[in-house]
Each structure stands twice: as C-alpha cells, then as structure tokens.
C-alpha cells in the first residue's frame, strides 16, 4: 500500500498536471476505493459465511475423493 501512496503523492505534487497524470491519479483513487471495498467485504458477516461455506464444500469434495480411493483400494484387495 505504501507504493500506492508514493504514486499518489508523485501525481499530486507535480507542478502541471498533464492528462496522463490526471488519469494516473484517478486510477490510484479507484484502486484505493477497491481496497476499501474489499476490506469492508471481509468484515461482512455474509462474506464470512460465504467463505465458510466454500471451505466446507471443498472439504466435502476432498473427503469424497479420499472415500473413492479407499473404496477402490478395498476392491483391489
């Protein structure tokens, strides 16, 4: 995040803002807003529930693969 701040300061302190400098500053501001949105989402209960559900689904899939391997091994013996 320090790099974003450095870039922002660079664009803010230039004597004359060219069009590309203005666009660069706009992009930095958009990135900062997106970082804030991501932080807010991670604090959200709904997002945490989604992450927990995803983890459970992945664990169930892993267990199914282990079970299939176990059954295949049992049949081969």
Same-domain status, 14 and 1:
yes
pLDDT at 68: 93
Same-domain status, 36 and 60:
no
Same-domain status, 12 and 38:
yes
pLDDT at 1: 56
Q: Dihedral angle at the C-alpha atoms of 14, 15, 16, 21, nearest 10 degrees?
A: 0
Across 20-24, 58-62, 73-77, the highest mean pLDDT is recorded for 58-62
Same-domain status, 2 and 38:
yes
Residue 12 has pLDDT above 80, yes or no: no
Higher pLDDT residue, 66 or 11?
Answer: 66
Same-domain status, 58 and 71:
yes
Whole-number Å distance between alpha carbons of 7 and 30: 13
What's the number of domains the chain is made of?
2
Provide the mean pLDDT of the chain: 84
Same-domain status, 62 and 35:
no
Same-domain status, 49 and 21:
no
Name the residue range of residue 13's domain.
Answer: 1-43
């Amino acid at each position: 995040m320090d790099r974003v701040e450095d870039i922002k300061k660079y664009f803010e302190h230039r004597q004359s803002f060219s069009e590309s400098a203005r666009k660069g500053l706009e992009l930095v501001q958009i990135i900062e807003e997106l970082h804030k949105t991501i932080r807010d989402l991670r604090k959200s209960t709904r997002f945490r529930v989604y992450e927990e559900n995803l983890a459970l689904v992945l664990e169930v899939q892993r267990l199914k693969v282990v079970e299939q391997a176990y059954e295949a091994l049992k049949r081969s013996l």
